[in-house]
């Protein structure tokens, strides 16, 4: 059902129920929040491999001779640096410099860019891109044409290798290839939102459930688990990856969110550039920092942050870090307070609990090869 007002369902909805998932509404979609349990799923991804249905994510395709010009104008990172088969993390900004969304830009060909955007933002992103399409590139709202599966963890490659003839080792981090998985055409990208090695697979919706099942079977020997949005969130928080509506939104500029590395001012004109230039001159009023709880208590999204008894900011994401076995969080504070080792206090249900600003990411996967 996709009647107005009802949450949308991915092609894997029935399979999630069959696998015993608990379903929740997220960004207008009815999604699995967990199957066996968030902690267990989180640890499966860190230690072996986990499989996520992320078909709620949106896809937008830009094609034609002016595809590069449009992609370059609406995103912050430098699209012209991409080689065919390469992906980059980037952002769409408003003229005022706030985030429309964050996204992945994949270069499929000189005249074809494939964008992966957040589920709840996809219609807004599409309208935003079309609004600035004075280049007359072809822009397609392609979400309904794809199911997306994320296979993540140190055993992701070994799992996927059983089901594909595509040379996976030949796909470097943040690169992709159009190949096949379990006999079906698939865009195989070495990307993810967990801090682990892994792949994001874009396949035809009708193939989604079958490929999901086959991946679960292929990963069985490694202890693969189907994973829900709960683990996806704890994993991305440990890896300090931004979540729209939390670390970034229309009121936050890239420099505040520690995302200046995806903004290439030198590439020339793009939407939001002028505002960022003014901001660079004036200086930012807040910075995103990571913290660990020192006192007993768990910081949660939206909790107020204090420094020396004065209101200093707010928690954007917080909770237990299942792999690190700590209570962690991200928060905004004025730039003069944003230093490693500084003590903050988080207001947890009316009580101030001590926290300390720490280096991020909280978790970084061990280097291999």
Partner 1 sequence: MYPEEFRYTREHEWVKVEGDVGVVGITFHAQQALGDIVYVELPKVGAQAVQGKTLGTVESVKAVSDIYAPVSGEIIEVNQTLVDKPELLNRDPHGEAWLAKIRLRAPEELGNLLTARQYRDLVAEES
83 counts as binding partner 1 under rule CB under 8 A? no
Residue owning tokens 């928060």: 331
Residue 125: asked if its preceding bond is cis (omega within 30°), the reply is no
Nearer residue to partner 1 within complex by CB, 113 or 362: 362
Residue 51: C-alpha distances to residues 16, 253, 263, 366 (Å): 12, 32, 31, 21
Using CA atoms, how far apart are residues 236 and 232, in angstroms rounded to an integer? 6
319 counts as binding partner 1 under rule CB under 8 A? yes
Instruction: Give Cα 114 distance to the centre of its chain.
Output: 16
Q: Least Å distance between CB 34 and partner 1?
A: 6
320 counts as binding partner 1 under rule CB under 8 A? yes
234 counts as binding partner 1 under rule CB under 8 A? yes
Chosen residue from 216, 262, 298, 347 binding partner 1 by CB under 8 A: 298
b (16+ CB within 10 A) / e for 34-64:
bbbebeebbbbbbebbbbbbbbbbbbbbbbe
The pattern of x and - marking residues 26 through 45 that bind partner 1 according to CB under 8 A reads: -------xx--xxxx-----
Which span sits near partner 1 by CB under 8 A: 12-20, 57-65, 159-167, 230-238?
Answer: 230-238
Q: Least Å distance between CB 46 and partner 1?
A: 14
Q: What are φ and ψ of residue 338, in 5° steps?
A: -85, 70
Nearer residue to partner 1 within complex by CB, 310 or 349: 349
324 counts as binding partner 1 under rule CB under 8 A? no
Nearer residue to partner 1 within complex by CB, 98 or 319: 319
Chosen residue from 297, 313, 328, 329 binding partner 1 by CB under 8 A: 297
300 counts as binding partner 1 under rule CB under 8 A? yes
Chosen residue from 154, 209, 230, 290 binding partner 1 by CB under 8 A: 230
Residues 154 and 196: beta-carbon distance below 8 Å: yes
Nearer residue to partner 1 within complex by CB, 52 or 113: 52
184 counts as binding partner 1 under rule CB under 8 A? no
Q: Nearest-CA neighbor of 225 among 47, 99, 50? A: 50
Using CA atoms, how far apart are residues 314 and 115, in angstroms rounded to an integer? 31
360 counts as binding partner 1 under rule CB under 8 A? no
Residues 74 and 271: beta-carbon distance below 8 Å: yes
The DSSP-derived string for 190-236 is ---SSSSSEEEEEE-GGGHHHHHHHHHHHTGGGT-EEE-HHHHHHHH
How many residues of this chain bind partner 1 (CB under 8 A)?
17
Residues forming contacts to partner 1 in the complex (CB under 8 A) are: 22, 33-34, 37-40, 230, 233-234, 297-298, 300, 319-320, 322, 349
């Amino acid at each position: 059902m996709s009647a107005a007002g009802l949450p949308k369902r991915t092609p894997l909805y029935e399979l999630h129920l069959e696998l015993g998932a608990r379903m929740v509404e997220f960004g207008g979609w009815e999604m699995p929040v967990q199957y066996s349990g968030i902690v267990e799923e989180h640890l499966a991804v860190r230690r072996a491999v986990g499989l996520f249905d992320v078909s709620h994510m949106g896809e937008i395709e830009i094609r034609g001779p002016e595809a590069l010009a449009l992609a370059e104008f609406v995103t912050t990172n430098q699209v012209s640096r991409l080689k065919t088969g390469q992906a980059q993390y980037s952002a769409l900004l408003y003229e005022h410099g706030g985030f429309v969304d964050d996204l992945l830009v994949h270069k499929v060909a000189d005249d074809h860019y494939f964008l992966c955007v957040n589920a709840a933002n996809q219609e807004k992103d599409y309208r935003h891109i079309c609004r600035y399409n004075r280049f007359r590139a072809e822009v397609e709202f392609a979400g309904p044409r794809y199911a997306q599966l994320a296979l993540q963890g140190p055993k992701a490659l070994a799992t996927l290798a059983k089901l594909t003839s595509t040379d996976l080792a030949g796909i470097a981090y943040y690169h992709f290839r159009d190949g096949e998985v379990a006999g079906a055409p698939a865009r195989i990208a070495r990307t993810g939102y967990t801090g682990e090695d892994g792949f994001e697979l874009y396949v035809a919706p009708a193939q989604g459930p079958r490929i999901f099942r086959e991946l679960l079977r292929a990963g069985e020997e490694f202890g693969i688990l189907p994973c829900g949005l709960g683990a996806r969130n704890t994993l991305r928080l440990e890896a300090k990856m931004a979540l729209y509506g939390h670390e970034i939104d229309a009121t936050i500029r890239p420099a505040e969110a520690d995302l200046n590395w995806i903004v290439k001012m030198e590439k020339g004109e793009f939407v939001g550039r002028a505002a960022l230039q003014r901001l660079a001159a004036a200086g930012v009023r807040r910075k995103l920092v990571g913290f660990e709880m020192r006192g007993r208590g768990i910081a949660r999204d939206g909790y107020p942050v204090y420094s020396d008894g004065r209101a200093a900011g707010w928690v954007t994401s917080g909770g237990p870090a299942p792999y690190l076995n700590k209570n962690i969080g991200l928060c905004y504070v004025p730039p003069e307070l944003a230093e490693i080792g500084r003590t903050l206090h988080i207001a947890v249900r009316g009580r101030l609990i001590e926290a300390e600003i720490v280096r991020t990411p909280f978790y970084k996967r061990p280097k291999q090869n």
